[in-house]
Chain A
Amino acid sequence: MPAHQLAEMLRRRQISARELTEAVLARIEAVDGQVQAYITVTADAARRMADEADRRLAAGEGVTPLTGIPVALKDNLCWDGVRTTCASRILHNFVPPYSATVVDWLIQAGAVIVGKTNLDEFAMGSSTENSAFFVTHNPWDLSRVPGGSSGGSAAAVAAGEAVLALGSDTGGSIRQPAAFCGVVGMKPTYGRVSRFGLVAFASSLDQIGPFARDVEDTALLLQAVAGHDPLDSTSVNRPVPDYPAALRQGVKGLRVGVPREYFVQGIDPRVEQAVRGAVARLEKLGATVTEISLPHSEYAIATYYLIAPAEASSNLARYDGVRYGYRAQGAPDVVAMFSRTRAEGFGAEVKRRIMLGTYALSSGYYDAYYLKAQKVRTLFVQDFQQAFQQVDIVVAPTTPTPPFRIGEKADDPLAMYLSDLFTIPANLAALPAMSVLAGFTEEGLPLGVQFIGPHFAEERLLQAAYALEQDLAGEGVMARRPTLPVKAATA
């Protein structure tokens, strides 16, 4: 059941926060053995938070739409006193003495945090196969990936192991797994949500955002985490609109742009069909549709794979075994300690990106690679600026294909990188973008559609996504849930 309905029941005391939390914990117990969405389940803390929420609900004090709602955190978000691993051996034992601003705000809102979810190591990947601990499975088909890097959060929401979840999106890490798991995921405008306490991958691209079962819940969670934070200099001091209030405004007169460059060869026809179907629905509901051009789209992957690894190579340099985390034993001197710690502590994909990034920043190569990539980045901004003179939102596929099989692309990094082809431009241009369910394949795999808007136009995205979702709901599409074999004893 979505959070906005649960919130109503909690307020009416038809259900207690403790009961709701116990139900979610039981669901985790029952299905997580197969889905493997969680790295850490914080059952005790969740129960305490639920009891606190019940006190608030009973007293009618400090009640927000999230009070008593079970939420999962991607395990790259710091929570004071709880292990934060980034799914990496190098942080396997790291317990931060502080919380991310978004975590503080969730706790203040009375949310119940049920655990920390799996991800590709340091959020580098598109399938959650790069976790140092285990692979998360797609609840719709356990032989398939849930997407990544926020695969654990997406799978947890899809499998009912959390009502809401937070993830982070650097090149599509919220939207791609949302599409693969048939849930809603949003990457807000860069600067809309504080990054303080999010373990950095690529600082100029990272953004925290919500996962939810539906668009209304997405608006509720966004409302709770959006806003200016003095601890993050890149967070923007600008009023936060009332997101839930924007939902029901409809799409009459909304100008929708469909970029022709996003329907290139290699796109799965089922994806294309679903996206075109979604566009047709919006048109039916009163939107006007125009084909537009985003001419630099083909450079997205190349640009991204210079900027993100360059920043990552610097951000991840602090994991040297000196102060916290994993330290290689028996090194004869400090240089050996550094290199052995990092050789043993990081996985293959992380090392690959650190090397790429180090190279791109090296003297003699900086101008040709990093600086050039930053210049190209401004071209993406211009592409979208021009597009948004003609249209109000851009509608595009979230991913080129439906969820692929576990192991299918694990040995082919380039093929894996291409699965972020359509999500990367919004990160490069700092734009808000979200993925919502557009339909299913014949075999029951979810298909996503992506909405991209101008800076700080989250309301407009929610409004269009909500209209589409309502239309699909009328045909029963939204009611479909993954069927998972449930462990009998505890369920």
Chain B
Amino acid sequence: MPLEDYEIVIGLEVHAELLTESKLFCGCSTKFGAEPNTHVCPVCLGLPGVLPVLNEKAVEYAVRAGLALNCEIASFSKFDRKNYFYPDLPKAYQISQYDLPLCRNGWVEIALPPADENSPARTKRIGIIRVHLEEEAGKSVHSSETIVGSEYSLEDYNRVGIPLIEIVSKPDIRSPQEARLYAESLRTILLYAGVSDCKMEEGSLRVDANISLRPRGATEFGTRTEIKNINSFRSIERALAYEAARQAQVLDEGGQVVQETRAWDELHGVTVAMRSKEEAQDYRYFPEPDLVPVVTSREWVEKIRASLPELPLARQERFQRQYGLPAYDAALLTETRDMADFFEEAARQWHDPKAVANWLMGDFTRLLKEHGLEVSQSRLRPGHLVGMLKLMEKGVISGKIAKTVFEEMFLSGQDAEQIVKDKGLVQIADTGELEGIIQRIIAANPQPAEDFRKGKEKALGFFVGQVMRETKGRANPALVNELLRKLLTAGQ
């Protein structure tokens, strides 16, 4: 039967590195990109006799993430050891949380695209089973494809012990697109909460997906596969779409889906079998005896809750309500907290929020991208934009000139007034000066003038263009129009 007759059931496991200065159980730096094995110490290297000491900041960040994801925070939680051998795991166990995670029972609301242009936007709630805290492993570089096939492997332990949260969703996701939207929402929320930088390309955000199919209407889950090695938001959707189709084909051919872990092959756009359920590791979890349980007080949790910023979806709704923005604009502007803050600061000082939004979604976003900058790194601040909008409104500069001024503000960080003055960009609103220019142009172009007089409205556009070229765009467009009409007809 066609794929549409199957219901796709997806759950995601998302790992996010926390933005603490130091590692989870030692004082080593968590900075990305250092020389291999320079951010290590006896504790994170798991040398004999050393003991972990819990970084309380990491607990705070994990609780912050849990609250941002609408979780209950456990008043009593503990760490467990997850045992397995791998060269990048120095203790041969990962300190993680097994049966008593720090946070559980949360949810994320995702905005689904409207069914068609006339339908209202829809939202869907994806449940979160748990959020727990654990430590990172190191990084291996193998001399060939796999560790077993390699002549040698090199180990970098800088990443070992960086605090990580694992966010496990309920199997509430029903399409590859929803999976992507959920992952993007998580990213936005974690960025808002300020707990992770969520860079998939640097590995600080990683997504594994569980997917199964069942005939529509069935209540039992089908056999699932787990997809690893997904390295971008786009691949979440691609990998799951591929896997759904693959499973549908297996089922259609009367076969059975094998419960296994599969790797996404970005290059070939396929998933390939990694290991079967039988090969799955027995992690022999047991309570970590070197750490004491984590006890959180209600007051402490409430203090963290109070310090959380307004979260993306709420802010998006408020932007529509308060500033009258279309849903599309509100979604785009609230994607990062910095952009949303930028917008609000400018919109508070200007009576036309839509104009502010247009500048930010257009020229500002383009310039940031071109220069590879984040909003926080921009020299152009909200005050600059408002200053420029004022000059436009007063007619000092035209919309065209404004584009030049905006780019100049972006590059130099100077304010609009200064730039307009220095570069002589003030709009020509002097009727006498413009009349002179226009008369010269009409004289030089008798044919189009004749055309206009015969009723060819299009010819007016030609003259406007000529005037703008002559004045380097500084002429007031309304005035140019008015004078052109007057002078062209006056000559009759």
Binding site for B on A (CB under 8 A): 76-78, 84, 86, 91, 94, 96-98, 100, 195-200, 202-204, 230-234, 310-311, 313-314, 317-318, 320, 322-324, 333-335, 338, 358, 361-363, 366, 370
CA distance A203 to B291 in the complex (A): 10
Chain A nearest CB from B89 CB (Å) reads: 9
25 contacts across the A-B interface (CB closer than 8 A): A78-B48, A84-B49, A96-B47, A196-B49, A196-B50, A197-B50, A198-B49, A199-B48, A202-B289, A203-B289, A233-B53, A234-B289, A311-B286, A314-B286, A320-B85, A322-B90, A333-B150, A334-B150, A334-B153, A335-B148, A361-B83, A363-B282, A363-B284, A366-B286, A370-B286
Chain B nearest CB from A127 CB (Å) reads: 23
B50 touches A234 (CB 8 A): no
Point out the residues of chain A lying under 8 angstroms from B49, CB to CB: 76-78, 84, 96, 100, 196-200
A314 touches B53 (CB 8 A): no
Point out the residues of chain A lying under 8 angstroms from B282, CB to CB: 362-363
B87 touches A314 (CB 8 A): no
CA distance A370 to B285 in the complex (A): 11
CA distance A97 to B40 in the complex (A): 13
A324 touches B47 (CB 8 A): yes
B42 touches A98 (CB 8 A): yes
B289 touches A204 (CB 8 A): yes
B45 (CB) vs chain A CBs: closest residue: A323
- What 1/0 flags go to B379-409 for Cβ under 8 Å of A? 0000000000000000000000000000000
B92 touches A320 (CB 8 A): yes
B92 touches A195 (CB 8 A): no
- Known: A76-B49, A96-B47; 5 extra A-B contacts, CB below 8 A, are A200-B49, A317-B85, A318-B90, A334-B147, A358-B284
- What 1/0 flags go to B43-68 for Cβ under 8 Å of A? 00111111111100000000000000
The answer to whether A314 and B48 touch (CB under 8 A), given A334-B153, A363-B284, is no
Chain B nearest CB from A312 CB (Å) reads: 11
Chain A nearest CB from B419 CB (Å) reads: 57
Point out the residues of chain A lying under 8 angstroms from B289, CB to CB: 202-204, 234, 311
CA distance A324 to B42 in the complex (A): 12
CA distance A453 to B87 in the complex (A): 44
Binding site for A on B (CB under 8 A): 42, 45-54, 81, 83, 85, 87, 90-93, 147-150, 153, 155, 282, 284-286, 289-292
A94 touches B53 (CB 8 A): no
CA distance A361 to B282 in the complex (A): 9
CA distance A76 to B87 in the complex (A): 24
Chain A nearest CB from B165 CB (Å) reads: 21
Point out the residues of chain B lying under 8 angstroms from A234, CB to CB: 51, 289-292
Chain B nearest CB from A227 CB (Å) reads: 16
A91 (CB) vs chain B CBs: closest residue: B48
Point out the residues of chain B lying under 8 angstroms from A333, CB to CB: 147-150
Point out the residues of chain B lying under 8 angstroms from A334, CB to CB: 87, 147-148, 150, 153
CA distance A324 to B90 in the complex (A): 10
Point out the residues of chain B lying under 8 angstroms from A78, CB to CB: 48-49
A310 touches B51 (CB 8 A): no
**Contact check: which of A195, A232, A314 meets B93 at CB < 8 Å?**
A314
Max chain A Cβ within 10 angstroms of own Cβ: one of B47, B54, B149: B47
The answer to whether A231 and B48 touch (CB under 8 A), given A318-B91, A320-B85, is no
B286 touches A310 (CB 8 A): yes
CA distance A233 to B52 in the complex (A): 8
Point out the residues of chain A lying under 8 angstroms from B292, CB to CB: 233-234
B283 (CB) vs chain A CBs: closest residue: A363
Chain B nearest CB from A62 CB (Å) reads: 27
A338 (CB) vs chain B CBs: closest residue: B85
8 residue pairs, one from A and one from B, having the closest CB atoms: A317-B92, A361-B284, A203-B289, A204-B289, A199-B48, A199-B49, A197-B49, A78-B49
B291 touches A233 (CB 8 A): yes
**Contact check: which of A200, A231, A322 meets B53 at CB < 8 Å?**
A231
Point out the residues of chain B lying under 8 angstroms from A358, CB to CB: 284
Chain A nearest CB from B284 CB (Å) reads: 4
CA distance A198 to B54 in the complex (A): 19
A194 (CB) vs chain B CBs: closest residue: B51
CA distance A84 to B48 in the complex (A): 9
B142 (CB) vs chain A CBs: closest residue: A334
B85 touches A232 (CB 8 A): no
CA distance A358 to B85 in the complex (A): 13
Point out the residues of chain B lying under 8 angstroms from A317, CB to CB: 83, 85, 91-93
Point out the residues of chain B lying under 8 angstroms from A84, CB to CB: 48-49
Point out the residues of chain B lying under 8 angstroms from A230, CB to CB: 53
Chain A nearest CB from B50 CB (Å) reads: 7
Chain A nearest CB from B97 CB (Å) reads: 16
CA distance A209 to B153 in the complex (A): 42
Point out the residues of chain A lying under 8 angstroms from B153, CB to CB: 334
A196 touches B87 (CB 8 A): no
Point out the residues of chain B lying under 8 angstroms from A324, CB to CB: 47
A314 touches B83 (CB 8 A): yes
Chain B nearest CB from A400 CB (Å) reads: 28
CA distance A317 to B150 in the complex (A): 23
CA distance A84 to B52 in the complex (A): 20
Point out the residues of chain B lying under 8 angstroms from A98, CB to CB: 42, 47, 50
Point out the residues of chain B lying under 8 angstroms from A335, CB to CB: 148
CA distance A311 to B289 in the complex (A): 8
CA distance A231 to B51 in the complex (A): 7
Point out the residues of chain A lying under 8 angstroms from B46, CB to CB: 318
**Contact check: which of B42, B51, B53 meets A195 at CB < 8 Å?**
B51
Point out the residues of chain A lying under 8 angstroms from B85, CB to CB: 317, 320, 338
CA distance A313 to B289 in the complex (A): 13
Max chain B Cβ within 10 angstroms of own Cβ: one of A98, A198, A334: A334
Chain A nearest CB from B381 CB (Å) reads: 44
CA distance A376 to B51 in the complex (A): 27
B48 (CB) vs chain A CBs: closest residue: A199
CA distance A314 to B91 in the complex (A): 8
Point out the residues of chain A lying under 8 angstroms from B83, CB to CB: 313-314, 317, 361
Point out the residues of chain A lying under 8 angstroms from B284, CB to CB: 313-314, 358, 361-363, 366
**Contact check: which of B50, B51, B285 meets A233 at CB < 8 Å?**
B51
Point out the residues of chain A lying under 8 angstroms from B285, CB to CB: 361, 366
Point out the residues of chain A lying under 8 angstroms from B93, CB to CB: 314, 317
Chain A nearest CB from B38 CB (Å) reads: 15
B282 (CB) vs chain A CBs: closest residue: A363
Point out the residues of chain B lying under 8 angstroms from A199, CB to CB: 48-49
**Contact check: which of A76, A96, A198, A322 meets B42 at CB < 8 Å?**
A96
Chain A nearest CB from B49 CB (Å) reads: 4
B284 (CB) vs chain A CBs: closest residue: A361
A200 (CB) vs chain B CBs: closest residue: B49
A203 (CB) vs chain B CBs: closest residue: B289
Point out the residues of chain B lying under 8 angstroms from A100, CB to CB: 49
B290 (CB) vs chain A CBs: closest residue: A203
CA distance A358 to B91 in the complex (A): 15
Point out the residues of chain A lying under 8 angstroms from B91, CB to CB: 317-318
A232 touches B92 (CB 8 A): no
Chain B nearest CB from A14 CB (Å) reads: 38
A374 (CB) vs chain B CBs: closest residue: B287
CA distance A197 to B290 in the complex (A): 13
